[in-house]
Amino acid sequence: MSKKNNVTDGGVGAFMFLAFIGAAVYFISRANGFWDGVLGFLKALVWPAFLVYEVLKDLLG
């Protein structure tokens, strides 16, 4: 019996990592203090969820 290994290139993961870094830089650079920077980091973690929500809300009404 032979095993079949599925290998992917991870392109989507690399794109999402770069998008997270960009969002973190954007949100943290707009922060006025330490806690605003912490909030900016947390926003960078969850912004894709808000993006998908807004797109689906606009598409599906």
- The answer to whether residue 5 is domain-embedded is no
Whether the Cβ atoms of residue 43 and residue 22 lie closer than 8 Å to each other: no
Identity of residue 53: Y
- The answer to whether residue 2 is domain-embedded is no
Domain count, the chain: 1
**Tell me, what's the pLDDT at 1?**
66
- The answer to whether residue 16 is domain-embedded is yes
Q: Which of 14, 12, 47 is nearest to 28 (CA)?
A: 47
- The answer to whether residue 51 is domain-embedded is yes
Whether the Cβ atoms of residue 28 and residue 40 lie closer than 8 Å to each other: yes
Read off φ and ψ for residue 55, nearest 5 degrees: -65, -45
Task: Work out the widest C-alpha separation in the chain, in whole angstroms.
Answer: 61
- pTM for the complete prediction? 0.70
- The answer to whether residue 56 is domain-embedded is yes
- The answer to whether residue 4 is domain-embedded is no
- The answer to whether residue 39 is domain-embedded is yes
pLDDT (tens digit, 9 = 90+) per residue, 12-58?
Answer: 888 888 999 999 999 999 999 999 999 999 999 998 898 899 999 99
